[in-house]
Amino acid sequence: MFSPGTEVHLDFSYKHSRVKQYLKEGRALRIETVINKPKDIGVLAHSNTWESWSKRAVKSIAVCL
Protein backbone atom coordinates (compact mmCIF):
# COMPACT_ATOMS: atom_id res chain seq x y z
CA MET A 1 0.00 0.00 0.00
CA PHE A 2 1.28 3.43 -0.90
CA SER A 3 0.45 6.62 0.90
CA PRO A 4 -0.55 9.81 -0.92
CA GLY A 5 2.42 11.58 -2.47
CA THR A 6 4.43 8.39 -2.99
CA GLU A 7 6.07 8.25 -6.42
CA VAL A 8 6.29 4.81 -8.00
CA HIS A 9 8.56 4.42 -11.02
CA LEU A 10 10.00 1.32 -12.69
CA ASP A 11 12.35 1.24 -15.68
CA PHE A 12 13.34 -2.02 -17.33
CA SER A 13 15.63 -2.42 -20.35
CA TYR A 14 16.24 -5.51 -22.46
CA LYS A 15 18.70 -5.27 -25.34
CA HIS A 16 17.27 -2.46 -27.52
CA SER A 17 13.85 -2.26 -25.85
CA ARG A 18 12.48 -0.81 -22.64
CA VAL A 19 9.43 -0.76 -20.42
CA LYS A 20 8.58 2.14 -18.14
CA GLN A 21 5.89 2.07 -15.44
CA TYR A 22 4.81 4.95 -13.28
CA LEU A 23 1.82 6.56 -11.62
CA LYS A 24 0.56 9.30 -13.92
CA GLU A 25 -0.45 12.30 -11.87
CA GLY A 26 -0.46 10.00 -8.84
CA ARG A 27 -3.73 8.39 -9.93
CA ALA A 28 -3.29 5.88 -12.75
CA LEU A 29 -0.61 3.30 -13.51
CA ARG A 30 0.89 4.03 -16.91
CA ILE A 31 2.96 1.46 -18.80
CA GLU A 32 5.05 2.54 -21.79
CA THR A 33 6.78 0.00 -24.02
CA VAL A 34 9.39 0.91 -26.63
CA ILE A 35 10.64 -1.82 -28.97
CA ASN A 36 13.47 -0.50 -31.13
CA LYS A 37 14.60 -3.86 -32.52
CA PRO A 38 11.67 -6.29 -32.90
CA LYS A 39 14.05 -9.19 -33.56
CA ASP A 40 15.25 -8.95 -29.93
CA ILE A 41 11.86 -10.21 -28.74
CA GLY A 42 11.30 -12.70 -31.57
CA VAL A 43 9.25 -10.55 -33.95
CA LEU A 44 10.24 -10.03 -37.57
CA ALA A 45 10.45 -6.37 -38.55
CA HIS A 46 8.43 -7.02 -41.71
CA SER A 47 5.59 -8.89 -40.06
CA ASN A 48 2.43 -8.39 -42.09
CA THR A 49 -0.09 -8.99 -39.35
CA TRP A 50 -0.70 -6.67 -36.44
CA GLU A 51 -2.29 -9.48 -34.43
CA SER A 52 0.85 -11.62 -34.56
CA TRP A 53 3.01 -8.71 -33.44
CA SER A 54 0.68 -7.59 -30.67
CA LYS A 55 0.40 -11.10 -29.16
CA ARG A 56 4.18 -11.35 -28.91
CA ALA A 57 4.42 -7.86 -27.45
CA VAL A 58 1.91 -8.74 -24.72
CA LYS A 59 3.90 -11.89 -23.85
CA SER A 60 7.11 -9.85 -23.66
CA ILE A 61 5.50 -7.30 -21.37
CA ALA A 62 4.20 -10.10 -19.13
CA VAL A 63 7.75 -11.44 -18.79
CA CYS A 64 8.96 -7.97 -17.76
CA LEU A 65 6.29 -7.63 -15.10
- pLDDT tens for 33-61 read 888 888 887 776 665 667 777 777 788 77
Torsion of CA 38, 58, 18, 34, to 10 degrees: 60
- pLDDT attached to residue 38: 81
* Residues listed for the chain: 65
Report pLDDT for 58. Answer: 81
Distance, first Cα to last Cα, the chain: 18
**What was the pLDDT predicted at 26?**
73
Average pLDDT of the residues of the chain: 78
Residue 47 confidence (pLDDT): 55
pTM for this one? 0.52
Q: Comparing C-alpha atoms, which of 43, 34, 44, 30 is closest to residue 14?
A: 34
